[in-house]
Structure 1
């Protein structure tokens, strides 16, 4: 059994294509690609900790179907966009706002939100979080497990620890451009960072931090 971590899938949330510029032409393609990417790495007997914002918008039966389609024993750490339909859906092994666990001899503190400090920090505990969509400035022993920071699929702890993107940002190409792999097309998506785009991203962060009306 392997333990995986992920966050911020935002299944069924139309904002995600616009705000995070995920490389998909429409929401059904986005959702199908994330399910396929999940099942390509997670087996039926594996464990997945989802650190919040699983879905926003789909009816309860759609959320139930999504959970049934995804491999593994799934634990939910509640995010700000997880509504009653997500929290009550069958298919979760556990649902909580916060958890502490140990994986491969490492103590982990799990929450949707990144902490300034956390239990066991001085003894080497690691904080895994979501919410920031790969845009939070990193601090030691803290990692963004969200799909935007981790290649759009669940990852193991070892993958998080060795991944540059696990330290809170997108992977950088040789020329410094932000680079992501378009799962639906197999092509590389690049965008040059700029002051104007950074301001837009900060405004987008504020919109994603609140649930839709």
Structure 2
């Protein structure tokens, strides 16, 4: 099964507590990271693929080493396809590639500088870190991250980030920090389309 997430920001102490960007109500960065790991592993098993749409880890005060990031990622289930975010670096991708633990006889990690596309049933998922303005389109969704607590007012744009407000459109939202599956992406898309249509009526 495929899953989708963005903006995990492992190690990022500045996000702790109330803030205007991405409030994460934990007493420590260790508690936040453990919650993210637990939520990920509760949904993803070793045969699944997770598309991580950027901003893996950071901390302006004391950047985690590449070894620390690799050790944390090693605790996450499944294969991971990374799309480069504004807080990701080529040096990190190179380190992860050089220390790839493998996955069923192939590399565990895959990397994309800008984005990638997959097809889910009859819908095309264009996955990027930054939201795209697709214009007139059908059966195409842009899955993205980057804007954390904000929602692009277009039905085709789905923020899959950890802090994304689109998650609240699900009838039964998964635990905080959980990667989303394709069924949930489609449910969000339908609910967002209805929400935006109601807002236009007002």
User: Shorter-chain TM-score: which interval?
Assistant: 0.7 to 0.9
Report if the CA contact (8 A) 1:53-1:81 is conserved. Answer: yes
2:168 is the counterpart of 1:159 = no
User: Helix, strand or coil for the counterpart of 2:9?
Assistant: coil
Q: Which runs of 5+ in 2 are unaligned?
A: 101-107, 168-175, 193-202
Provide the rounded CA distance (Å) in 1 between the counterparts of 2:111 and 2:67.
Answer: 18
> How much has 1:122 moved relative to structure 2?
2.1
Larger mean CA deviation between 73-82 and 59-68 belongs to: 59-68
> How much has 1:129 moved relative to structure 2?
0.2
Give the aligned partner of residue 29 of structure 1. Answer: 31
Give the TM-score normalised by the residue count of structure 2: 0.74
Give the aligned partner of residue 9 of structure 1. Answer: 8
Provide the rounded CA distance (Å) in 2 between the counterparts of 1:129 and 1:98.
Answer: 9
Give the aligned partner of residue 172 of structure 2. Answer: none
Give the TM-score normalised by the residue count of structure 1: 0.70
Report if the CA contact (8 A) 2:122-2:139 is conserved. Answer: no
Give the aligned partner of residue 149 of structure 2. Answer: 134
Number of residue pairs matched by the alignment: 163
> How much has 1:66 moved relative to structure 2?
1.2
The Cα RMSD (Å) is 1.9
How big is each residue's C-alpha offset from its partner over 1:41-79, in whole Å with a ceiling of 9 and x where there is no partner?
A: 001110000000011121111111111100011000100
